[in-house]
Structure 1
């Protein structure tokens, strides 16, 4: 049984507001997925000392409200049964269990995640790239390293030895990704070298980015390594990884707002316990992620880009 069924709307927050706007938004933007009771999470038990260190507000409420844009398979996505699934929901659910908390996931658009966190609609963001430009409004607990993959259709004769080989290609990118910044620099370098620049198109999420290959709109898609390798392994007739860059200088993290730094510390300590107990590595394996994608020290605001 999936622990994250979509069971309601996203209008629950610290201050409950009953308004027509909330009802309208909930129909189109948000659904809540309720995590299992900590006692039912396999192989994970509450740690009394760590639970006692959780800020009183969350201990009293007993629940963490997490905003999620489930758009990246296998990290966080909506499965064929309409349930939120993936490595990150499993990991945060386990961390919440260590802290003797329940988990509620609120499905949201990407653009609404950080504003929702700052407006106290969410306690934590499920999965977000840790960029230094976001550190003024979000405190990250990083749990994954992130490499880059360039993906192409096997029907196209695309081969790459470096990112410089992107010159002149039609490149699809997820909106707001680190690859957007990098692609601009590469395009400038192409022009300086007397080559054609990149033609870049951005899409709302990784799924739409990859779909642009199937429709022929784009020649290559630049996506995070777990996404690229997962989709290439599941649908090799559609997708092929033509280049892997392991040196992306950022991680993926859970995010809390600046007022929630004590919560960040609690989540970090819960993750360290999960690592010690073997749960973290087991979840990496379950979702087809390699150990190179792991970030076992779980730094706070570890992003350097």
Structure 2
């Protein structure tokens, strides 16, 4: 979702940097349910908007106007950013989408899946956009994998939050860990394909260069699984985005966050490269909710005010 703070791979990564399904966030009416394989869907409701009367409706691509919906890919296992309660996806990202829907006059329909498949699904047309605590990186913008190899046409990001990666350990910090440099020779969990995963890969290389034992990285499909492994004592730490790590520490008695945030970077709503009309409309909608206060209200609700941005930007990640 820290920052799912710095994700890097495009086809196999995205941070939760989460470098991705089905839940509907309805602007009108009832809960929508859809299924795909073993995936589940959920939806949240918002007040009714009469499409063409919304202030930014005309900014949307004609295809989206006609459908009345923006299909959103997410990995809903990243509390407080996006997570499931029953069949409903809730969290900061759905709340921001709900506020933006009032400006655009269409509903955002969230579909749940694995983080490292989100960009591929976007580029094959399954989704119109991704909103999943995904870190905006140059590699993702350019369609590069973690080896710098071109693997896709890339995406554009509408950046809406700033976060970095954090180290989550068991309560009391029994291993006395304060930095990623202390993890050489230890077992560490993380979410696969995220910026946090990339941080661990880099540190493992540095451990080897310094003639230290490498980190044994245990990547999981989602951060919930990584925390279960940490709680069971199978690893000494979990590296994840700061909002997620802080929430896990705050809500229970099992964990605490140690050290400083690493590689703070913007989270972005990802849109296929070349879909400028949609990215432009999303940028204007984000600007509108920043100006009218709905953005700040949502950040306060979920306790992530420190990651707020003052203005909507496109591709500000590095």
Short-chain TM bin: 0.7 to 0.9
Please give the alpha-carbon distance, in whole angstroms, between the structure 2 residues aligned to 1:229 and 1:90.
19
Please give the alpha-carbon distance, in whole angstroms, between the structure 1 residues aligned to 2:64 and 2:159.
21
What is aligned with 2:215? 198
SS at match of 2:32: strand
Q: Figure out how many residues of one structure are paired with residues of the other and give that number.
A: 278
What is aligned with 1:69? 75
Mapping of residues 12-51 of structure 1, within 5 Å = 26-31=36-41, 33=43, 35-39=45-49, 47-48=54-55, 50-51=56-57
Q: Residue deviations 1:39-75, cap 9 Å, x none?
A: 49xxxxx752x22222222122221111222010000
State whether structure 2 residue 239 is matched by structure 1 residue 239. no
Task: Give 1:270 shift.
Answer: 0.6
State whether structure 2 residue 307 is matched by structure 1 residue 297. no
Q: Say which structure, 1 or 2, has more relative contact order (CA 8 Å, 6+ apart).
A: 2
Mapping of residues 256-271 of structure 1, within 5 Å = 256-271=271-286
What is aligned with 1:94? 99
For structure 1, which segment, 280-289 or 125-134, has the greater mean C-alpha deviation from structure 2 after superposition? 125-134
Please give the alpha-carbon distance, in whole angstroms, between the structure 2 residues aligned to 1:259 and 1:34.
30
Q: Residue deviations 1:228-256, cap 9 Å, x none?
A: 11010001x211112232x5153221111
Matching residue within 121, 124, 138 for 1:116: 121
Report the CA distance shift for 1:277/1:179 in structure 2 as closer, same or farther (over 3 A). same
Mapped contact 2:44–2:88 kept (Cα < 8 A): no
What is aligned with 2:139? 133
Please give the alpha-carbon distance, in whole angstroms, between the structure 2 residues aligned to 1:6 and 1:129.
29
TM-score (norm 2): 0.80
SS at match of 1:28: coil
What is aligned with 1:14? none
Larger Rg: 1
State whether structure 2 residue 66 is matched by structure 1 residue 60. yes
Mapped contact 1:225–1:244 kept (Cα < 8 A): no
What is aligned with 2:186? 169
Q: Larger helix proportion, structure 1 or 2?
A: 1
Mapped contact 1:130–1:301 kept (Cα < 8 A): yes
User: What residue ranges of structure 1 are gaps of 5+ in the alignment?
Assistant: 11-25, 41-45
Please give the alpha-carbon distance, in whole angstroms, between the structure 2 residues aligned to 1:82 and 1:154.
31
Please give the alpha-carbon distance, in whole angstroms, between the structure 2 residues aligned to 1:231 and 1:179.
16
Report the CA distance shift for 1:35/1:148 in structure 2 as closer, same or farther (over 3 A). same
Task: Give 1:6 shift.
Answer: 5.9
Q: Residue deviations 1:101-132, cap 9 Å, x none?
A: 12211222334322221122211112222222
SS at match of 1:143: strand
Report the CA distance shift for 1:189/1:276 in structure 2 as closer, same or farther (over 3 A). same
